[in-house]
Structure 1
């Protein structure tokens, strides 16, 4: 179902994990590699049509990071568009800029950037068949990047044992920082769910399996009519979506997914391109 415009936002479709008692006994998963032995996934999606996604453009200050779990921050990067193909410049320049921005905004004691993902939409997306050579496409399924247990394991893997134990038991936060590489975004923008509208029963632990011995637990999302979804129209490269994925205090993470705009067509500037930085913030 294509999206349609509404007075207070956009009505569109987003995919969720179908509610099924089966998942009480069997954990959902998806494979990031080819296998002749098991299915690529056992998670059954459910597309929810006519879902209202409200536009926060002009009302960004009405939302608070503590309550809603997200914010829009302005940050000019010193990297030119073409420099985002240079992994060294991304690591040593852009990631440092994001880290400094997060430290200033949150007043954390320290920040640890641990992952960067660049997504360049394939021209055939979303009708692209499963192709492990064409990865990092816009994420259509509502999800949270990591479960609390996965985050504590991540902290322990990134730090020496003595320090890791202290950090994992202290006050920390896992954030995702998303922005377009070019803009304004006129196709497949990112939708975020107000964390205060998420119930714990909406979330289901899920394994993303990278190879037969490596998996990461994240959270898939069941639809709940009480959930409130938002987006930022025509997002610019200088505008960062900063959204919580895990908080040691127990505050819920922010489900997110890409969605189709009603006016969406082939952008003359080419398919959507974005970069997301995942970071851990420590407050002790």
Structure 2
């Protein structure tokens, strides 16, 4: 059985467990999917099977050669105006934090613009990851390796969010990135880890999957384990330390890293007395070339427990036909 282990207390190198999509021949015929509702006809809610692997997590602070253009992630510092209590107030998050995150991302990535599309606050329940059958008030950490969306899903986000300007935007260089940080720190409980995209064999170790609501289908990226993958985390991360990482890049078709596999893990250096993890994750559209700032943004709704954004769509009379779902990959 896999365990969590402290490899070095000096450099904060540790081992921990992450779930990966099991390599199964059935996925050659059927796309991985998860229904976020109970179908009336007894159709299985998911065909996703995962295998637990023990990984070594390297200290991101000690790595001097990680380049965003290659690894797909970067740390940035932001002295926020937000207090811990402010994260209970959606109006303050939207009025204050979104704008300061947008400015930080724009400066850090040298982008022409950055716009927050949505966000989610997570607060780990005291029982998690042991399921009790109770409904959680907040989303919980994601312990399976994944990328929030595919290139095609990134295009869909742009078309659904900026319908009037979408085709112009899609002709330029864009990225969908996530910005993640704890609400309290230093963080020891279930930190976020990410895989160096340069060590990922995207052709053989990733495949697209579907998150299905009654009124929408959204495509994310499932990840298979490969011992060649190299994983990192930010030990003792502070609220002022933002992790910025890619989920989709328009230039991936020309060789840029498509996205960054990521997951949370049970840190063996944490103590039971340490505060449980509380974090915020913001999803940001980055435009890397000049565009008109007069963009008409449509509303988005955030899907729960899916690590995805799903546009508002009419409610159909019946669930989507799974047999007709597209079988695209990164």
TM-score of the aligned structures, taking structure 1 as reference length: 0.93
Which of 109, 114, 122 in structure 1 is aligned with 2:112? Answer: 109
Q: Which residue of 1 aligns with 2:303?
A: none
Q: Distance in 1 between matches of 2:124 and 2:35?
A: 20
* TM-aligned CA deviation for residue 239 of structure 1: 0.4
The answer to whether 1:33 aligns with 2:37 is yes
Q: Which residue of 1 aligns with 2:302?
A: none
Q: Distance in 2 between matches of 1:126 and 1:178?
A: 20
Q: Which residue of 1 aligns with 2:79?
A: 76
Q: Which residue of 1 aligns with 2:262?
A: 256
The answer to whether 1:199 aligns with 2:212 is no
Q: Distance in 2 between matches of 1:74 and 1:60?
A: 17
* TM-aligned CA deviation for residue 109 of structure 1: 1.6
**1:17-75 residue CA offsets vs partner (Å, 9 max, x unmatched):** 000111111111123334452333210001012x2111123x25431111111111111
The alignment partner of 2:251 has SS state of coil
* TM-aligned CA deviation for residue 6 of structure 1: 1.1
Q: Distance in 2 between matches of 1:183 and 1:128?
A: 26
* TM-aligned CA deviation for residue 135 of structure 1: 4.7
15-24 vs 27-36, greater mean Cα deviation = 27-36
Q: Deviating runs (4+, > 6 A) in structure 1?
A: none
Q: Which residue of 2 aligns with 1:11?
A: 15
Q: Distance in 2 between matches of 1:111 and 1:170?
A: 14
Q: Distance in 2 between matches of 1:118 and 1:241?
A: 15
The answer to whether 1:160 aligns with 2:163 is yes
The answer to whether 1:278 aligns with 2:280 is no
Matches within 5 A, 1:42-121: 42-49=47-54, 51-57=55-61, 59-121=62-124
C-alpha spacing 1:215/1:265, structure 2 compared with 1 (3 Å): farther
Which of 250, 258, 267 in structure 1 is aligned with 2:273? Answer: 267
Structure 1 regions of 5+ residues with no counterpart?
Answer: none
Q: Distance in 2 between matches of 1:39 and 1:267?
A: 40
TM-score of the aligned structures, taking structure 2 as reference length: 0.81
CA contact (8 A) 1:60 1:71 kept: no
Q: Which residue of 2 aligns with 1:231?
A: 233
Which of 2, 24, 28 in structure 2 is aligned with 1:24? Answer: 28
CA contact (8 A) 2:184 2:278 kept: yes
Q: Distance in 1 between matches of 2:240 and 2:283?
A: 17
Q: Distance in 2 between matches of 1:98 and 1:138?
A: 21
Q: Distance in 2 between matches of 1:142 and 1:76?
A: 30
The alignment partner of 1:249 has SS state of helix
Pick the structure with more strand per residue. 1
Q: Distance in 2 between matches of 1:125 and 1:43?
A: 21
Which of 173, 180, 185 in structure 1 is aligned with 2:175? Answer: 173
Residues matched between the structures, number: 279
Q: Distance in 2 between matches of 1:130 and 1:111?
A: 39
Structure 2 regions of 5+ residues with no counterpart?
Answer: 290-330
CA contact (8 A) 1:32 1:132 kept: no
